[in-house]
Chain A
């Protein structure tokens, strides 16, 4: 079945460091891919998405490119801030379009 694998956390960085969170997927066809962010005590917020191969999603300095050949959707940011500290979830939409399949999440902690 469809699945998403994210790098294990926590990821601890200093302010202004470069961020990469790896995400790979297994799915039938070419699903839409998403990154969501969850701040403590809150729900998930859509960070960015890509709907077809080679699409690049971007928002708030974060980017991810849909790589069909490596079935990956790695999240990157050139310079993280303390306010970026949160849990990041990679997800794909199942073939039927009825559900999101999530990775286990990666906790990011940024210190000043």
Chain B
């Protein structure tokens, strides 16, 4: 049962380093979403991608954060020059292509990557 796979599960970085988080969507899913969960908070949308395209990045911080979903391989969320405030759980979700109407396709979540900044 290949669900959404995220790795690593835990990632520790020092301030100023780069963090790379990977997400492989469920089989047959071509849409990927990234969310961030700060302690005691709900999930906040960051970015929505389809293969080779960023569709909505309205939740992405303007600097240091980037995301990609190449034709081959997993989606990558990259955080450059990490700071303490980047410590959070980062969740990836995927959904199949939209059918007759958007909004009816649920998103399936991975177990997340817990990023800690020293």
Contacting residues, chain B, for A104 (C-beta < 8 A): 40-42
Contacting residues, chain B, for A93 (C-beta < 8 A): 102-103
Cβ–Cβ contact A99 & B91, under 8 A: no
- Given contact pairs A99-B33, A100-B45, A102-B42, A44 touches B56 in the complex (Cβ within 8 A): no
Contacting residues, chain A, for B45 (C-beta < 8 A): 99-101
- Is residue A43 contacting chain B, with contact meaning CB distance below 8 A? yes
Cβ–Cβ contact B56 & A43, under 8 A: no
- Is residue B25 contacting chain A, with contact meaning CB distance below 8 A? no
- Given contact pairs A43-B109, A104-B41, A99 touches B104 in the complex (Cβ within 8 A): no
Cβ–Cβ contact B43 & A42, under 8 A: no
- Chain A: interface residue total (CB-CB under 8 A): 25
Cβ–Cβ contact B55 & A98, under 8 A: yes
Give CA–CA (A34, B93) in the complex, Å: 14
Interface size class for chain B? 20 to 34
Cβ–Cβ contact B103 & A99, under 8 A: no
- Given contact pairs A43-B4, A43-B110, A44-B109, A100 touches B103 in the complex (Cβ within 8 A): no
- Is residue B86 contacting chain A, with contact meaning CB distance below 8 A? no
Contacting residues, chain A, for B4 (C-beta < 8 A): 43
Give CA–CA (A102, B98) in the complex, Å: 21
Give A83-111 as 1s and 0s: 1 = Cβ < 8 Å from B's Cβ atoms.
Answer: 00000010001001111111111000000
Q: For chain B, residues 11 to 59, give those with C-beta under 8 angstroms from any C-beta of chain A.
A: 33, 35, 40-45, 48, 55-56, 58-59
Cβ–Cβ contact B108 & A46, under 8 A: yes
Residues of A within 8 A of B (CB): 4, 31-32, 34, 36, 41-46, 49, 51, 89, 93, 96-105
Residues of B within 8 A of A (CB): 4, 6, 33, 35, 40-45, 48, 55-56, 58-59, 91, 93, 98, 102-104, 106-112
